Chains A and B, each alone.
Chain A
Amino acid sequence: MSELALRGGISVNRIGAMILRYWYLLLSSWPRLLELVYWPVLQIITWGFLQTYIAQNANFFARAGGTLIGAVILWDILFRGQLGFSISFLEEMWARNLANLMMSPLKPIEFLIALMTMSLIRLAIGVFPMTLLALFFFQFNFYSLGLPLIAFFCNLIFTSWAVGIFVSGLVLRHGLGAESIVWTLMFALMPLACVYYPVHVLPVWLQYISWSLPPTYVFEGMRALLIDHVFRADLMLAALAINAVLLMASFTAFLALLRSARRHGSLLAGGE
Chain B
Amino acid sequence: MNIIDQVPPKSAAADPLGSAAIDVAHLTKVYKQTRAVDDISFSIARGSITGLLGGNGAGKTTTIAMIMGLVLPTSGRVQVLGYQMPQQSERVLGRMNFESPYVDMPMRLTVRQNLTIFGRLYAVANLRERIAQLADELDLSEFLDRANGKLSAGQKTRVALAKALINEPELLLLDEPTASLDPDTADWVRGHLETYRRTHQATVLLASHNMLEVERLCDRVIIMKRGRVEDDDSPEGIMARYNRATLEEVFLDVARGRVKEAAS
Q: What 0/1 pattern do residues 1 to 41 of A give for CB contact below 8 A with B?
A: 11100000101011011101100110011000000000000
Nearest B residue (CB) for A97: B106
Q: Which residue of B lies closest to A4 (CB)?
A: B123
Report how many residues on chain A are interfacial, defined by Cβ distance under 8 Å.
36
Residue from the list A9, A13, A259 in contact with B123, Cβ < 8 A: A13
> What are 27 pairs between A and B in contact, CB < 8 Å?
A1-B123, A1-B125, A2-B123, A2-B125, A13-B123, A17-B118, A20-B116, A24-B108, A24-B113, A28-B109, A91-B106, A97-B104, A99-B70, A99-B100, A99-B103, A100-B163, A101-B121, A103-B69, A104-B118, A106-B121, A107-B90, A259-B72, A262-B86, A263-B71, A265-B70, A268-B65, A268-B71
Contact B120 A17 (CB under 8 A): yes
Residue among A91, A95, A96, A103 making CB contact with B70, cutoff 8 Å? A103
Q: Please, how many residues of chain B have a CB less than 8 angstroms from a CB on the other chain?
A: 36
Residues of B within 8 A of A97 (CB): 103-106
Query: B61 within 8 Å of A by Cβ?
Result: yes
| B241 CB to nearest A CB, Å | 33
> In the assembled complex, which residues on chain B have CB atoms less than 8 Å from the CB atom of A63?
none
Contact with A along B89-116 (1 / 0, CB 8 A): 0100110111010111111110001001
A contact residues around B62 at 8 Å (CB): 265
Q: How far is the CA of A101 from the CA of B93 in the complex (A)?
A: 11
- Shortest Cβ distance from residue B81 to the other chain A in the assembled complex, whole angstroms: 14
Which chain B residues border A203 with CB–CB below 8 Å? none
Q: Which residue of B lies closest to A100 (CB)?
A: B103
Query: For chains A and B in complex, what number of residue pairs have CB atoms within 8 angstroms?
Result: 103
Report A-chain residues with C-beta under 8 Å of the C-beta of B103: 96-97, 99-100, 268
Hey, which chain A residues are within 8 Å of B65, CB to CB?
265, 267-268
A105 to B118, CA, bound (A): 10
| Distance between B108 CB and nearest chain A CB, rounded to angstroms | 5
Decide if A95 touches B123 in the complex (CB within 8 Å).
no
In the complex, the answer to whether A13 meets B106 with C-beta atoms within 8 Å is no
Tell me the bound Cα distance from A199 to B100 in angstroms: 53
**Quick check: A104 and B93 within 8 Å, CB to CB?**
yes
Interface status of B179 (Cβ within 8 A of chain A)? no
Q: List chain A residues, Cβ under 8 A from B143.
A: none
Give the chain A neighbours of B105 by CB distance below 8 A. Answer: 95, 97, 100
A28 to chain B: which residues have CB within 8 Å?
Answer: 108-109, 147
Interface residue A102 (Cβ < 8 Å from any Cβ of B) = yes
A24 and B109 contacting across the interface, CB-CB below 8 Å: yes
| A13:B120 contact, CB within 8 angstroms | yes
How far apart sit A14 and B98, CA to CA, in the bound complex (Å)? 18
B31 contacts which of A25, A29, A95, A265 (Cβ < 8 Å)?
Answer: A265
